[in-house]
Amino acid sequence: MIPLSWYLFLAAALFCIGLYGVLARRNAIAILMGVELMLNAANINLAAFGRYVAPNAVLGQVFVLFNIAVAAAEAAVGLALILAIYRNRDTISVEEVDLLRG
């Protein structure tokens, strides 16, 4: 049996890698990829806790399904926004999209 903490460590590591991707990348699509990785880490956490705390209640899996649906919707809208920005400003580097800067 795999100890629960192994899954949690993997999820924590993936979350921190995704967090670094969100904070440190210039490309807006790379930032979105980091967000998706963080959502995947949360899904691993949810599924692991669901399996190890209440195996027959399938609550963890239900939550993961909703999380995947929300992540897919957010990826679609975010990428559409990035495409619109690219079409307008010809760049997707977040450092060059500073129209609101004072």
Partner 1 sequence: MTVTQGVFIILAGLALAGGVGMVALRNLFHSALAMVLAFFAVAGVFVLLESGFLAVVQILIYVGAVATLILFAVMLTRDIMGRKSLTQNSQWPLSLLAAVLLFGALGVVLVRASWPTVTTAISGDPIAALGLTLVGPYGLPFEVASVLLLVAMIGAIIFAREARE
Q: Is there binding between residue 35 and partner 1 (CB under 8 A)?
A: no
Q: What angle do CA 61, 40, 60 make, to 5 degrees?
A: 15
Contact between 89 and partner 1 per CB under 8 A: no
Site residues (CB under 8 A) for partner 1, limited to 54-73: 54-56, 58-62, 64-66, 68-73
The Cα 10–Cα 4 span in angstroms is 10
Q: Least CB distance from residue 46 to partner 1, whole Å? A: 9
Closest CA to 42 of 12, 78, 17: 12
Q: How far is the CB of 31 from partner 1 (least distance, A)?
A: 10
| Least distance from partner 1 to the Cβ atom of residue 84, Å | 5
Q: Does 97 bind partner 1 (CB under 8 A)?
A: no
> Which one among 10, 100, 101, 102 touches partner 1, defined by CB under 8 A?
10
> Could you tell me which residues come within 8 angstroms of residue 44 by beta carbon, excluding any fewer than 6 positions away?
7, 10, 11, 14
Q: Answer for the pair 16, 37: CB distance below 8 angstroms, yes or no.
A: no
